[in-house]
Amino acid sequence: MNDVKVEKLLINYKTLEKFKRFKEYGNQELSMLEDLQSNIVENDSESPFYGIYFGNALVARMSLYKVDKKYDLYFEPAHDYLVLWKLEVLPDYRGNNYGKALVEFAKSYNLPIKTNPRINSQGFWEKMGFQKAKYEMERDFGENPLIWMPDGVNEKDLKSN
């Protein structure tokens, strides 16, 4: 896994073409085409998209958004945190630690991370050290968020309103 490199993906039509390959596999809720299309302005725009290439083929991707602590619904006291959204590895490339490499890249920011498990991925997230968010408020858009805490941020900091 040492030679796996996570790259920031440009917001452009070339990346849009690469994203279409992911949509072929039918995980509509994971489709980032619409997200990318709405963000296409120019190559140097701030991109929330990251990926791993095998040769010239984009084989794994995720989107990663930073949330300012003023919008924090998860921690007390409030923290800046990351939302890791729509992590996906193409079927032929699963089992090569590409998903783990993307998660480790997100963890390298040393901020709390929130994600929502999708399509039988709960076990993967648990192996990556994520735990169920412990707060008593309405569900997170109908989903069950998982939280990862970096060293120095305690689980007791999770809100329990």
Task: Write the pLDDT tens digit of every residue in 126-146.
Answer: 999 999 877 644 444 556 789
Nearest residue to 51 via CA among 41, 63, 67: 63
pLDDT given for residue 102 in this prediction = 97
In whole angstroms, what is the distance from residue 94 CA to residue 102 CA? 13
pTM score, whole prediction = 0.75
Domain residue spans of the chain: 6-157
Phi, psi for 160 (deg, rounded to 5): -140, 70
Residue-wise pLDDT for 89-101, tens only, equals 999 999 999 999 9
Residue-wise pLDDT for 37-70, tens only, equals 455 544 445 678 899 999 989 999 998 989 999 9
Superfamily of domain 6-157: Gcn5-related N-acetyltransferase (GNAT) (3.40.630.30)
Q: How far is CA 52 from the centre of its chain?
A: 13
